[in-house]
Amino acid sequence: MSKKKLELDPQQILAWMKGNIILVVLIIACIGAGVGLPMFAASWSEEVQQSLNKRTKAFSEIDALLKSKVTPLSGGSAKQVVINRELVDAYREVANLLRDDAQKVVEQAKQHNQKDYTTLFPDLFNEDVTRSQLETLPQQFYLQLQENYRSLLSNLRAGSPLKLDTLVQELEESRVRFIENKLSKDPEKAQLTQEQNSQLEISMTDKRMSMLRGRAQELGVYLDEETLDIPEFEEKNRPNMGTLFTWQWRYWAVADALTAVAKMNGEQTELTSPVKRITLVQVFGLPSIDGKNKPERSDPIPEVNERPSGPKRGGGAMGLGGDTSKNPPKKNPDKPKRDKGKKSSSRNDNGEVKSFTKREDSTLFDVLQVRLRMVVSTVRIPTILDTFAQHNFATVIDIDLQPVNKFTSLEEGFDYGAEPVSELTVVLETVWLRAWTAELMPKSVKTALGI
Per-residue tens of pLDDT for the chain, all 451 residues: 455 555 667 777 777 777 777 887 778 777 766 666 666 666 666 777 787 788 778 777 777 666 677 777 666 677 777 777 877 788 788 888 888 888 899 899 999 999 999 999 988 888 888 888 888 899 999 999 999 999 999 999 999 998 877 777 777 777 777 666 776 676 666 777 777 778 777 877 888 888 888 899 999 999 999 999 999 988 888 889 999 999 999 999 999 999 999 999 999 999 999 999 999 999 999 988 864 433 444 444 444 444 444 433 333 333 333 343 434 444 443 443 434 334 444 555 554 677 787 787 788 999 999 999 999 999 999 999 999 999 999 999 999 999 999 999 988 889 999 999 999 999 999 999 999 999 999 998 998 888 8
The predicted pLDDT at position 302 comes to 46
Q: How many residues does the chain have?
A: 451
Collect all residues with Cβ–Cβ distance below 8 Å to 71 and sequence separation of at least 6.
77, 78, 79
The predicted pLDDT at position 147 comes to 95
Asked whether 125 and 141 are in contact (CB, 8 A), the reply is no
> Which residue type occupies 91?
Y
> Which residue type occupies 4?
K
Pairing of strands 158-159, 287-288: unpaired
The predicted pLDDT at position 431 comes to 95
CA distance 65 to 83: 6
The predicted pLDDT at position 201 comes to 79
The predicted pLDDT at position 288 comes to 84
pTM reported for the whole predicted model: 0.69
The predicted pLDDT at position 321 comes to 36
The predicted pLDDT at position 66 comes to 66
Number of other residues whose CB lies within 10 A of the CB of residue 154 = 9
The predicted pLDDT at position 170 comes to 77
Asked whether 276 and 375 are in contact (CB, 8 A), the reply is yes
